[in-house]
Amino acid sequence: MACLIKAPDASGKGCVSFTTPERDTLINKHTQVRAAVEALKQRYLVGLHHNWHDHQFAYDPLFDFSMAGDGDLIESNGRPFARVPLDACNFSPACFSRASASEKFWDVLCTSRAVFFKGLLEFFQAIRAFYDRGHFIRVLHLCPVPPANADGTHLHDIRQRFEAIFSPQERQWFTLMTMEWDNPFPLDLETLAFFYRASRVYVHSAPQERRARAAAYAWASRMPVVSRENIASLLPKALRRRPFWFEFDKPEQMADAIAAAVGAAKDDPQWDRVAGEFNSDQSSRRLEEALDDITRKRRQTMSRQLINATGFDIRLGRHHDIGGGTNRVDQTLGEFCRVLLNLPDASMAKFAAVPDAETALAESAKGADLRTRQGANA
């Protein structure tokens, strides 16, 4: 969604980012919304958070920079553009890295939601192969289930598919916990982090997805990840190796990769570096440096307000007024821009300091509108 990254002040600009769905659905289709975003540039550096990789990326100078990882963007005409190599995946909350005495109860954890692009049926077949060999590892799949949709991209029948593959006895080892509430985030992060800390290996079976927040949480928890190369693109190239990453390419290779990860020694002196890639505090400092560098090249300055990155793992990828469930802020993008443009610096600094600035701004705007209407009717 549109995310307030940094408040402006007398020293320089603030920073706000928008998501690619907001760009495609709102900014590029409505001239008034685009004009509202353009007006922000007098007080804010305007970024674009890429919620999916784009190898035919068309640079738009409306956005001062893009937030995306190495290899995620290829400009269609070869034009240069500013890129900050950070996004929502790099801001894992501290609960994922917290030292814990939790027993490693589950051998394998998966938290992918029931949509077609996650490769979940391939994951089921990999565990099926394990059990066919007589190896009964303990598996937990925390699975948010969205409602059925017309194009069939939501696997709303994943429970039925799962029970057709695994017997009742095998389901004592493989727990599929389907969750049909508060999609796509049915669990609070503290609860989710508990399951990560209590598991040995994380499996991400998506064949195309690149910037996977669920895998980032695993690495922040110092947990090995089994995946294809597209998921491993989150890691610097030098760290794309065992025991951090266990690679497979074809679906039939997944079971062997899981077996290697479950049985491997986890000790490695580079784990601090791996976890640091996804640590919110460290990523905040890298983001500060990247924004300062962008403005310095433009002979501008950033404000002296520090970035409050609380919730950036969710907030950077959320949307204003599009989508649904817990991944949406109930405020139009135009109204959000109006508030950012008109509130004084001191007020913006206060909002930027709260855990969820965008929700607080939306609620404040609704309250102001209500008071205006009540005053008019008095």
In 10 A of CB 18, how many CB atoms? 25
C-alpha atoms less than 13 angstroms from C-alpha of 318 in its C-beta half-sphere: 28
- The answer to whether the CB of 260 falls within 8 A of the CB of 244 is no
Q: Are 362 and 329 in contact (CB under 8 A)?
A: yes
CA distance 365 to 347: 13
What sign does the dihedral 206-207-213-215 (CA atoms) show? positive
Q: Report the mean per-residue pLDDT for the chain.
A: 92
pLDDT at 98 > cutoff 80: no
Sheet strand arrangement including 225-227:
174-179, 139-144, 106-110, 199-203, 225-227, 245-247
Does residue 276 have a pLDDT over 70?
A: yes
Q: Are strands 3-6 and 14-19 parallel, antiparallel or unpaired?
A: antiparallel
In the prediction, which pLDDT does 102 show?
64
Q: Between helices 254-263 and 120-132, what is the axis angle to 10°?
A: 70
For 163, phi and psi rounded to 5 degrees?
-70, -20
Are residues 46 and 64 in contact, defined by beta-carbon separation less than 8 angstroms? yes
- pLDDT attached to residue 100: 59
More confident residue, 311 or 98: 311
Q: Considering the chain, what percentage of its residues have pLDDT values greater than 70?
A: 95
What is the rounded CA–CA span in Å between residue 26 and residue 33?
7
Q: What are phi and psi of 18, to 5 degrees?
A: -120, 160
User: What pLDDT, on the 0 to 100 scale, is given for residue 324?
Assistant: 65
* pLDDT tens track for 339-375: 999 999 999 999 999 999 999 999 998 865 534 444 4
Q: How far apart are CA 200 and CA 218, in angstroms?
A: 10
Residues 268, 106, 90, 246, CA torsion sign: positive
Q: Taking the model in full, what pTM does it have?
A: 0.88
pLDDT of 157 over the 70 cut: yes
DSSP secondary structure string for all residues of 41-78: TTTEEEEEE-SS-EEEE---TTSSEEE--TTSEEETT-
Q: Tell me the pLDDT tens digit for each residue of 160-194.
A: 999 999 999 999 999 999 999 998 889 999 999 99
> Domains in the chain, ordered, with CATH?
3-91+279-377 (3.40.50), 94-276 (3.40.50.2000)
The mean pLDDT of 93-108, rounded to a whole number, is 82
Looking at residue 367, its pLDDT comes to 63
pLDDT, residue 317, reads 87
pLDDT at 373: 44
pLDDT digits (tens, 9 = 90+) for 256-267: 999 999 999 889
Residue 325 has pLDDT above 80, yes or no: no
Mean pLDDT over 16-36 rounds to 96
Closest CA relative to residue 354, chosen from 364, 367, 344, 342:
364
pLDDT of residue 270: 97
